[in-house]
Chain A
Amino acid sequence: MTPKKLTLPLTDLQIKNLRQGDLLLLSGTIYTARDQAHKKLIETLKSGQALPIPKGAVIYYTGPTPAKRNKVIGSCGPTTSGRMDEFSPILIEHGYKIMIGKGARNETVIKSLKKHQGLYLSALGGCGALYQQCVKTCECITYPELLSEAIYKLTVHEFPVIVTI
């Protein structure tokens, strides 16, 4: 399982050449969002307003622990993707087609990813300490009242994920 080092953003050609089971080490910018943030993002989309994250942003499903002093971020492994299944298809349609989480996705999400040449990557569940090391910067972008469920902009270095869909 030789890891492939890739830098975000990924081109459509790079996405096309990936195979299920490939181990990738990603570097670049990703945005965290989980249950409550997804609910708010969809409400914003439906109201016709602009989203607080740039188009094409890679979304990582996580709710980190608070950062200790002198640390960029706390423990930040992935949360269960299935709970975001109801929200993902509309986000994929609007250009947010790369997602990182853990566990299976439903048929609707799978169809949507295939239709829009999207990518679902599995991060290693329970490896919060490992991912902490991969995060170089962390900035709260929006929804700070959601605490660990806020949207954070992360700069990551060699963040291990496995190509799933």
Chain B
Amino acid sequence: MMPKIRYIEAKTITKKTAELVQNTATYLRPDALKAFKSALKTETSTPSKTILNYLIKNAELAKKNNTPCCQDTGLEILYCELGEQVLIKNGHWKSALQKGIKLGSKQGCLRQSVVSDPLIRINTKTNAPGLIHFDLVPGNQIKITCLSKGFGCENKGQIKMFNPTASIDEIKTFILDSIAAAGSNACPPFLIGIGMGGTLDHACDLAKRAQLTPIGKRNSKPHLAKFEQALLKAANALNIGPLGLGGKTTCLDIKILAAPTHIAGLPVAVNIGCHAIRSQSITI
């Protein structure tokens, strides 16, 4: 039987993407706010409680005043799960999505944080282009997830190509050292994404995607879930604390995504996410 094709207007994609980008870059993710409130109950030091209270107040003010919770509204990254039965009408996917980023950035008064070339560094003045990833999935819908990634934390990410015989302890040390090196500059408490396997770039991609999953949800594979918990416990024992002032809450969570890899390799990527956790999804 021939599949039924569904057409979506390019201007619909642009309009919906604009709303998504605006909302993502402005408001804190709900599970992050919940995690701050939960951390407030377990923190014992006064400075860390004071900071957590400020973070909560900031999120509430952002919502009340419709203002970005952090001035680094980030590089916009769109993850598109495109249904195989969907075709775009009167336009093209990439340009419709990039127009959405530009429109959302303008309407939301997001910061113009993009330069067109890493060496020449002229501001594009549109906060575009963002990064766009496409995955093909069965069905007739498109799900777009936007992640607004600030660079205070992005600059502290690390990748290491381990030998395939590397031990769990060596990997754990690398991850904890990366978190320690990130320190106060990357605005803890962190949401850490770990990517393991694949290739050098795939591990980095996984590390970022890992941050899209809910705080507190463990990897479905028992050995990775166990490793996540061990890492979280060890990371919080570093005592870096909220904004680096000391305390039990250095990380809100550590999430691992793993992929098959080559017999000669074991890539491990660490992506540091700051406390301004900003990602949202829409389905069209």
Interface residues of A (CB under 8 A from B): 1, 21, 23, 62-68, 71, 74-77, 79-80, 82, 102-104, 122, 124-130, 132-133, 147-148, 160, 162
What 0/1 readout, one digit per residue, does chain B (42-73) give for beta carbons within 8 Å of chain A?
00001100110011011101100111111111
Q: Report the separation of the CA atoms of residues A133 and B187 in the bound assembly, to the nearest whole angstrom.
A: 20
A79: chain B residues at CB < 8 Å are 71-72, 152
Closest Cβ of chain B: how far from A22's Cβ, in Å? 11
Do B62 and A129 touch (CB < 8 A)? yes
Closest 5 CB pairs of A and B: A103-B185, A129-B62, A125-B187, A75-B68, A129-B61
Instruction: Show 29 residue pairs from A and B whose CB-CB distance is below 8 angstroms, ordered by the A residue.
Output: A63-B111, A64-B71, A65-B67, A65-B71, A65-B73, A65-B110, A68-B67, A71-B67, A75-B67, A75-B68, A75-B69, A76-B71, A79-B152, A80-B185, A103-B244, A104-B185, A122-B243, A124-B58, A124-B243, A125-B184, A125-B275, A126-B274, A127-B55, A128-B62, A128-B69, A128-B71, A132-B67, A147-B125, A148-B112
Closest Cβ of chain B: how far from A75's Cβ, in Å? 4
With known contacts A64-B71, A74-B71, A126–B58 Cβ distance under 8 A: yes
The chain A residue with its CB closest to the CB of B111 is A65
Closest Cβ of chain B: how far from A163's Cβ, in Å? 12
Q: Report the separation of the CA atoms of residues A67 and B152 in the bound assembly, to the nearest whole angstrom.
A: 22
Do A160 and B109 touch (CB < 8 A)? no
Do A68 and B72 touch (CB < 8 A)? no
Do B70 and A77 touch (CB < 8 A)? yes
A130: chain B residues at CB < 8 Å are 54, 57-58, 61
The chain A residue with its CB closest to the CB of B151 is A80
Beyond the given A74-B111, A122-B184, A125-B275, could you list 12 further A-B residue pairs with CB under 8 A, ordered by the A residue number? A1-B46, A21-B245, A64-B71, A65-B73, A68-B66, A102-B185, A103-B152, A124-B51, A126-B69, A128-B68, A129-B59, A147-B125
Interface hub of A102, A125, A133, A160 (most chain B Cβ within 10 A): A125
Do A64 and B111 touch (CB < 8 A)? yes
Q: Report the separation of the CA atoms of residues A80 and B59 in the bound assembly, to the nearest whole angstrom.
A: 20
A147: chain B residues at CB < 8 Å are 112, 123, 125
Closest Cβ of chain B: how far from A151's Cβ, in Å? 16
The chain B residue with its CB closest to the CB of A66 is B109
B55: chain A residues at CB < 8 Å are 124, 126-127
Q: Report the separation of the CA atoms of residues A104 and B244 in the bound assembly, to the nearest whole angstrom.
A: 10
Is B183 part of the binding interface, using a Cβ–Cβ cutoff of 8 Å? yes
With known contacts A65-B109, A126-B187, A126-B275, A75–B54 Cβ distance under 8 A: no
Q: Report the separation of the CA atoms of residues A109 and B68 in the bound assembly, to the nearest whole angstrom.
A: 31
Interface hub of B47, B113, B184 (most chain A Cβ within 10 A): B184
B50: chain A residues at CB < 8 Å are 1, 23
Q: Report the separation of the CA atoms of residues A122 and B112 in the bound assembly, to the nearest whole angstrom.
A: 24
B258: chain A residues at CB < 8 Å are none
Q: Which of B58, B112, B152, B245 contacts A127 (CB 8 A)?
A: B58
Q: Report the separation of the CA atoms of residues A146 and B137 in the bound assembly, to the nearest whole angstrom.
A: 42
Closest Cβ of chain B: how far from A158's Cβ, in Å? 13
